[in-house]
Structure 1
Amino acid sequence: MKLQDALDAGAPPIVAILRGIRPEESTAIAEALVEAGIRLIEVPFNSPDPARSIAAMAEAVGTHAAIGGGTVVSAAMAQSLDDAGGTFMVSPNIDPAVLKHARELGLDLLPGFLTPTEAFAAIDAGARDLKIFPGSVLGSPYVKAIREVLPADVRLWAVGGVGAANIAEYRAAGVFGIGAGGSLYRPGDSAADVGAKARELLDAWKAAEI
């Protein structure tokens, strides 16, 4: 499933970032997230054997959720993501060559930026979903200011320090979606733990409807 397909099917724009997940636990945690209502799942490439985890998740829940790879910083990583069955690519930076290769593979793009210059470089490279990272460093007023200068068709996602406690202020600042990492999953968490935290996060998202 592609990222936009998941959104069109009613998935909330929340990416579960599973940094450090191991292949042997990936299926159970992906199933717990989908059952809780989160349908956008990212496996960062600095996790143990990320391609195996992505492949396992894509096979288990890929018809119900979009499975992507994060911390993708090279064309080889983008290729590995595509080969594993992932459908969207998240990066911490703007590398036009990597974004170009990912687009050619048919991957949805979600590159990370901090400054307006980086944001417009990503837009020039074909991205229409942008990750402001780390989102909490300059806070929601900065997010609001960035949102005001971006093209209307560009969707802004806040990642880094954004969770149930501060979703409302970031939604008010104009973000389209968020990425949740440590507030949702840490290595060693059980599938039940992740599912419970996912439901809490979704409740906070719904309470912040604007």
Structure 2
Amino acid sequence: MAVKAQLTGPLTALQVMQDAPVIPVIVLTDVGQAVAMAKALVAGGIRMLEVTLRTPQALACIAAIARQVPEAVVGAGTLRSAADAKSAAAAGARFAVSPGYTKALGQACRDLGLPLLPGVATGSEIMMAQEDGLNHLKFFPAMQAGGPAMLKAWSGPFGDVRFCPTGGVSSDNAAQFLALPNVVCVGGSWLTPLDAMAQGDWTRIEKLAQQASILATVA
């Protein structure tokens, strides 16, 4: 597998989305696992890593990856406030993902230089994000909110918007999303299964990343 050039400096949301077909959505409860997991994903061809702020250990895990795995690009997910954005940036996050969108969160991310993929599930939410200059969005929760059919419907009125569907996306249906012209990548948790994490099965996680990294060529 070709080694990707290291990304330095500020990123754009499009760069984050275009780097690989899948952005892993990661829940970490053990800082001791963070670095080994990140190295396994990178070895498999996936380096944009969304560590969700769903556990007390999340920020420490982001910091550990940012410090010890420079070839990875670690981001923070589940941001819900400006305070979340500030904490994530301070920990070393280089991009942000949120389940929804507010102007306060958008402004905080702009001030911090964090590219933001905000979650949207309706046309009104897309329009609110676009008012603030955001055209690269997370479709969430993707399957529950209409799946590929909804994205096809949005391609007419929102032809200038590109999406990262997340929520109910799996190895079984990812190719259906990636085949859509308005989808750049997908987000999913299947690259870091709980049992593999608990067992420290980094070889399995690397293989899952390898499979995910070629999804676009299959779609």
When residues 39 and 180 of structure 1 are mapped into structure 2, their CA distance, relative to the original with a 3 A threshold, is: same
- The answer for the alignment partner of 2:217 in structure 1 is 206
SS at match of 2:119: strand
- The answer for the alignment partner of 2:94 in structure 1 is 87
- The answer for the alignment partner of 2:20 in structure 1 is 12
Give the distance between the partners of 1:61 and 1:148, measured in 2 at CA.
41
SS at match of 1:118: helix
Counterpart check, 1:107 vs 2:107: no
The one-letter code sitting in structure 2 at the alignment partner of 1:121 is M
- The answer for the alignment partner of 1:194 in structure 2 is 205
Deviation at 1:6, TM superposition (A): 9.4
Q: Is the 8 A contact 2:21 2:212 kept in 1?
A: no
Q: Is the 8 A contact 1:57 1:67 kept in 2?
A: yes
After superposition, residues 35-184 of structure 1 pair within 5 angstroms as 35-62=43-70, 64-137=71-144, 138-152=146-160, 154-174=161-181, 175-181=183-189, 183-184=190-191
The one-letter code sitting in structure 2 at the alignment partner of 1:91 is S
Instruction: Give the TM-score normalised by the residue count of structure 2.
Output: 0.85
Instruction: For structure 2, list consecutive stretches of 5 or more residues without a partner in the other structure.
Output: 1-6
Aligned alpha-carbon RMSD (Å): 2.1
Give the distance between the partners of 1:158 and 1:194, measured in 2 at CA.
21
Deviation at 1:53, TM superposition (A): 0.7
Deviation at 1:49, TM superposition (A): 1.5
Deviation at 1:108, TM superposition (A): 0.5
Runs of 4+ in 1 over 6 A off after TM superposition: none
Instruction: For structure 1, list consecutive stretches of 5 or more residues without a partner in the other structure.
Output: none
Superposed CA deviations along residues 159-178 of structure 1, whole A, max 9, x for unmatched, are: 11222211221122331111
